[in-house]
Amino acid sequence: MMDLLPDFGKNAAYIWACYGIGLVLIGGTVIGVLVKARSAKQSLARLKGDDGDVT
Amino acid sequence: MSPAPILSAFRQALSEAWAGGAGALLPLGFFAGAAVLVPLGIGTEPGMLRTVGPGILWVSLALSSLVTLERIFQADVEDGALDLWLQTSAPVSAIAAAKTFAHWLTAGLPLALMSPVLALMFQAEAGANLLTSAMIYGLGGLAFFFWGGVGAALSATVRRGGLLIALIALPLYVPTAIFGSLAMSGAAGGDSAPLLLVASTLFALALAPFAMAAALRLAAD
Amino acid sequence: MGMLSAFANPHRFLALSRWLAPLFYLLGAALIAWGLWQGLWIVPRDDYQGGDIMRVMFIHVPAAWLAMASYSAMAGASFVWFIWRHELADIAAKAIAPLGATWTALCLATGAVWGKPTWGTWWQWDDARMMSVLFLFFLFLGYMALRAAMDSRQKAARAGAILAMVGALNVPLIKFSVDLFTSLHQDSSVITAEGPKMASVYLWPLLMSGLGHSLLFGALVMTLMRAEIWTRQAARHRARLLAGA
Amino acid sequence: MQLRPRDYSGDDVRLLTASGLGILRGERVLFDAVSLEVAPGEAVVLRGANGAGKTTLLRVLAGLTRAETGEVSRTAPHHWVGHREGLKPHETPRAHLDLWARAWGAGADVDAILNEMGLSRPADVAARYLSAGQRRRTALARVLLDKRPVWLLDEPFTALDAEGRTRVLDMVAEHRQGGGAVVAAVHGEVGFIASREITL
The domain limits of chain C are 20-237
pLDDT tens readout for residues D107-125: 889 999 999 999 999 999 9
Flag whether D touches B (3+ CB pairs, 8 A cutoff).
yes
Out of B2, B79, B221, closest to residue D86 by CB: B79
Alpha helices in C150-199 (DSSP H): 153-183
**pLDDT recorded at residue D197:** 81
Give D142's pLDDT tier (boundaries 50, 70, 90): very high
**pLDDT recorded at residue B50:** 85
Nearest-Cα distance to chain C for D109, in Å, is: 41
**pLDDT recorded at residue B64:** 87
Higher pLDDT residue, D27 or D66?
D66
pLDDT mean across residues, chain D: 87
Interface residue D25 vs chain C (CB under 8 A): yes
Interface residue D30 vs chain B (CB under 8 A): no
Integer Cα distance of C66 and C69 in angstroms: 5
Give A51's pLDDT tier (boundaries 50, 70, 90): very low
Range of the domain at B89: 4-220
**pLDDT recorded at residue C199:** 66
Query: Cα Rg for chain C, rounded, in angstroms?
Result: 20
* ipTM over 0.85 threshold: yes
- Structurally, chain B folds into a number of domains equal to 1
**pLDDT recorded at residue B132:** 86
Q: Which domains does chain D have, with CATH numbers?
A: 5-199 (3.40.50.300)
Query: Cα Rg for chain D, rounded, in angstroms?
Result: 17
Segments of chain C scoring below 70 in pLDDT? 1-8, 47-50, 184-199, 245
Closest CA to B163 of C149, C101, C105: C149
**pLDDT recorded at residue A48:** 84
D21: enclosing H helix or E strand: strand D16-25
Integer Cα distance of D63 and D70 in angstroms: 12
Nearest-Cα distance to chain C for D22, in Å, is: 14
Strand partners, C46: C51
Strand, helix or coil for residue D29: strand
C223: enclosing H helix or E strand: helix C200-243
Nearest-Cα distance to chain C for B121, in Å, is: 26
Interface residue C182 vs chain A (CB under 8 A): no
Specify whether the CB–CB gap between C159 and B215 falls below 8 A: yes
Question: Per-residue pLDDT averaged across D72-84, rounded?
Answer: 91
HSE-CB of D188 using CA atoms within 13 angstroms? 7
pLDDT tens readout for residues A1-48: 456 677 777 778 888 888 999 999 999 999 999 999 999 999 999 988
